[in-house]
Structure 1
Amino acid sequence: MRRGEVGTMPGLSPLGLAGFAGDDPQAIARQIDEAASVADLAASALRIDAMVALLHDDGLKIERIAKLVGHLNARLFARLWSMVAPQELVANSCLVVMGSEGRGEQILKTDQDNALLLRDGFACDGVETVAAQFSAALAELGYPPCPGRIMLSNPLWRQPLAAFKEMLRDWVYGAHPEGPMHLAIFLDSLAVAGNAALLAQAREHLDRVVDRTDVFFARFASAIELFDPHPNWWHRLIARDDDEAMDLKKLGTFPIVHGVRTLALQQRLHVTGTQERLRLLATRQQIDPGLARDVLDALHYLMSLKLSCQLRRKQAGHVPGNLVRPSELGTLERDTLRSALGIVRRFRAEIHQRFRLDAL
């Protein structure tokens, strides 16, 4: 699957937003396509951030903002890759983004999560240097290096297809503690440049080798317990004098994303977005349609609240993150957050029961 092909931006005409002026998504896309240097792309990256703030203030739905940002980011990554990588390397490899970027759910810039699959038998002198240049350039554009080194500058995430297939098998059957999480990261992969067939072949290989036993899926699903909910979070949303920060990702978005990802892996779904995964799972009767709707609504609310808090922090000169302080929320925000986290708790219970996590 690939996002960000050359042409018009999906779902939005050049004049689709009145008063958008110079930060029309179409104008940003053209600027990316015409960029001649990393500095030019840095200017485009800043315009994407400005566009996000304007769209959010204008009340555009969070899923539409995320879709636009996803298309523009994919375009930007592909253009940057074409600047630093020789054409022969571009043609014989597949540049992949993962995490929230791969799912189409990233809005403001976060850590780099990317990889490079190489065609078997292809040799490119200096690929290590090219990968390092790409990661460094992304940092210049505002995407900081991943603390876990999930980047193509790390040899683990830059391999020929055959070697990568063996690594996928090891993540499924091996004893390395990071294997399951690396597998989860890969499941959200999206091709943005080069030969997308390489990623498709890797994904098909995973379907063939993945352990279909209940024990495997239970262990994979158990990652939703990595961040146990704060025992007092419900009270903290009621007490207006409580100023302890809450992590929206740990409390809300991660349990949703990983629970849905586990069900999608079990059903061999190759789509990466949580919304599309939920739609297909409901169609296949793998999740109650009402619960699927509620989970999606909760995810979108959490994404919107996170963006609101991040934009406020940026305006105040602070670094945006996943934390929100209950004391900074209005009554409506608190009530809706409490409802959203209640849905998350219900979904966690469903995953817990479905995969019998108590038996682990």
Structure 2
Amino acid sequence: MSKFLLSNTVTAIQPSGIRKFFDLASSMDNVISLGVGEPDFVTPWNVREASIYSLETGHTAYTSNAGLLELREEVSRYLNRKFQVTYHEEEIIITVGASQGIDIALRTILNPGDEVIVIDPCFVAYAPLVSLAGGIPVHFSTSGKDEFKLNIEALANTITSKTKAILLCNPNNPTGTLLEKELLEQLADLVKKHNLLVISDEIYAELVYDEEYTSFANIEGMRDHTILISGFSKTFAMTGWRLGIVAAPTEIISHMLKVHQYAIMCAPTMSQHAAVEALRNGEADVQAMRRSYMQRRNFLVKSFQEIGLPCHMPGGAFYVFPSIENTGLTSEEFAQELLIKERVAVVPGNVFGECGEGYIRCSYATSLEKLIEASKRIQRFIQTIPVVEPVGNI
């Protein structure tokens, strides 16, 4: 096919760096995967049953474009109950996963050439989605020396007259870093000064372990500057149900709804009925999953530190991001050799941005038994590598 028939923007985008390793892993036996960011829990039975019941009673037609009114009302109550942010049902759209929410947010706010600051390391879809929406992703690097937290002064120097928005993930994927309220308030001052928008990806907000979570929309004056992204995949172990949440002020959400209705029509009806049940009666399951994740996190961080791979204690999500600099291997070399020699799949840190080089992402959304075995294999692998002096401490 002649190249001129394809979009230059699309052809310039690289495939997901995560998939390469897991396509390879899927062809191998006895692999323990610490890679894909998906809960190992099955969606709770009462949630599945609600979906089955909706099918049995014939709820198979489209919902409204924005989603079931009943679900949007529950989302409104949930956001207020959990994070003390107020969005009415008309300020909420139910999307096909949180990623679609980010996509329609970007397509709604960006004009060609507008800049969006993407804070690295970050979810692999952020920069490509900015490009696909006609914007220019501007990468801002954080450092393992600061546990990958924002340096507000340095971030301020990244802002130009073309900057439209900041894409924020809190807690962060891949580092698990949690931005506390004081730091978010400093970011808010910057947002007000330059009249920016923040697309706040809060998909992991329920998976916070050591302190209370603060939504960026809850910071004084930030509700009108925030497009809040959330969803059901991580919190309720509902990845395959493909349901996300977008909440924003009316003057933004009304235009986002136009993009959503022409691209998608509506999220799956049976998934939306399941989500109503999750929000109403899912708290006990969420708490149980969170306790399990916290136990796994503590084990995995301690294991990496004992092995000799520096690793900060992440405040949220279900990832650890240990440094492998003292092995002398690149992130890709480490991940590939570990997979081939010891059958453990991890994600090389550089796929999440240049500042992720020298790190690997490991998901602890797998059983403790598998994490114990994986740590043994990683230790065995490390013992075969001549260790060099680390570049820096974490």
Question: Is the TM value for this pair above 0.5?
Answer: no
TM-score (norm 1): 0.25
Q: Could you state the TM-score of these two structures normalised by the residue count of structure 2?
A: 0.23
Higher helix residue share: 1
More strand per residue: 2
